[in-house]
Amino acid sequence: INYYNPKTNLIDTNNVANLLLNKNSMIIGDLNCKHKNWNNPQNNPGGNSLNETLQNIDLTHSEHTEYTYKNPATGAESTIDIALWDPKNIISDIKTQNEKEVGSDHTPVTFKTTIKEKLQKFKINNKIKQYHKVNWGNLNNLFSQKFQNTPSTKNEIDHTINKLEKHINTVNKLIPEITINRTNHGINKDIRKDIQEKRRLLKEYKRTRNPIIKNQVNRLIKKIQKAIKDSENRLMNKHIDQANSKNSKESWKGINKILGQDPKPTIKKIFNPITKTDTSIKDEIAEIFKNAQKEIFQGNETSDQENENDVNSWYNQQNFTTEPSNENFFTTDEISKTIKNLKNNKAPGIDTIKNTLIKYLEPSLSPILKKIFDSCYDIGYFPKRWKEGKVIMLYKNKGAKNDTKNYRPITLLNQFGKLFEKTLEIKIRKWAEENNKINKEQSGFRKKRNTNDQLYLLTQKIYEAFNRKSGIDAIFIDFEKCFDKIWKKGLLYKLHLMNIPKKDLNIINSFLHNRNIYLS
């Protein structure tokens, strides 16, 4: 950090301390602080204040052997260009060297910095599941045997889901893992070939004990070590260039990679509207976000009281559950196809089950999930476990970081719950398309159509207006938080008027109500 403190100002020692203690950084600059501890003949108020701060927080500073400033009027010499750093952070040592005068009242100073060795390699420890070492055929057979019965009540469905999660997490623990400790140097193809050749020669040497082969191995090892080091340096230089980017987002990416820091977002403090102060206590932050989200999900007031009364009256008279009929509503092939289309890199929810594991267990899971899905749809019950979400609040990269309005929630849901949603969506979409329940002008959320269709339509209308030498009016409406604030009872009532099948209406009602989220 290049820090300049004007001669007329008393240095802000709190700011200096926060910069050094909270960041892996150092401060270098003209601080206009004089103290005998850093080679000055006398102290000034700024020097006394800074020296006291350094003693209290155990900071290290460089000590110059020569003066760095000469007063042009009096000729008095002093050391006011200094470096400060926290020894507990990345800087292990700073050496200074005064350069020749260049016609300025300040003598140029070269700072030579030693970065701690462990941060130059920024090691990454990866735990990788060895899925290929598991006998999935036997495991799928065992799974199928454990879930023969079809649940028919809410309690039975909940019990089956809990049992299924428990067994899958047990299987997950049994999958062997390997820990790869590697430096992020990005080994290229040439280095990999040399490593393979080295291994081949080592085997041959162990078999023949030929000294010529041993010399070849030694030369190859030196070549590989040099290539890896050069690769590490290239990548480090790339990260340094990225850190110097004018784009702050790219700059912090580079800094995080250099320091080996986790770029995952953390919320340090949030403004508490009750106490009118910032808080860093996790429980209080969670409570503040809960109240903010609760306010958002309250919904909008309706302007038509008579219509609202009619909807509420209809809703209160409805029975959104039905007796089980034991019919088949979904097919194993539908569920199997949905599982195979899952993306491996999607983060799991509270169940902690990853899509990769679900795919390996697909042969046994598809028929098990079919039984659960059929029962849920039959009685109009979306399981409680599948309505629990783990919420991560992400900063929108604009506005104050302590304001809840500048964060948006990302909810990680139960994997099997998402599978059920996708299966239901296919079923309801098919009904809507076949019965012409969707406005023909709608392009979003429809197969073989997208929002670009509307752009093409608008462009065509504009061309036609030009040809007629007339104007065209366009109105664009953005409904703020429309999905968050949707009137659930009104939505169900509209679906009822569209003659949606009773079982679809029941499961949608169950899906919409009594949902819970947990702040991660």
Domain locations in the chain as residue ranges = 1-121, 285-437+478-519
- Contact between 131 and 266 (Cβ < 8 Å): no
Residue 460, classed as helix, strand or coil, is helix
pLDDT score at 270: 92
Which tens digits make up the pLDDT trace of 384-422? 999 999 988 888 877 888 999 888 888 999 999 999 999
CA atoms of 166 and 160, how far apart (whole Å): 10
Lowest-confidence range among 113-127, 162-176, 269-283, 428-442?
113-127
Q: Which residue has the higher pLDDT, 190 or 462?
A: 462
- Indicate the Cα dihedral angle 44, 49, 54, 57, nearest 10°: 170
Which tens digits make up the pLDDT trace of 151-165? 989 999 999 999 999
β-strands 388-395, 516-519 pairing: parallel
516: pLDDT confidence band, cut at 50, 70 and 90? Answer: confident
Q: Which residue has the higher pLDDT, 17 or 96?
A: 17
CA nearest neighbour of 89 among 167, 11, 25, 183: 25
Count the residues in the chain: 520
CA atoms of 502 and 509, how far apart (whole Å): 11
CATH: 3.60.10.10, 3.60.110.10, 3.10.50.40, 3.30.70.20. Which one for 1-121? Answer: 3.60.10.10
- Helices marked H in 147-247: 154-174, 189-208, 211-243
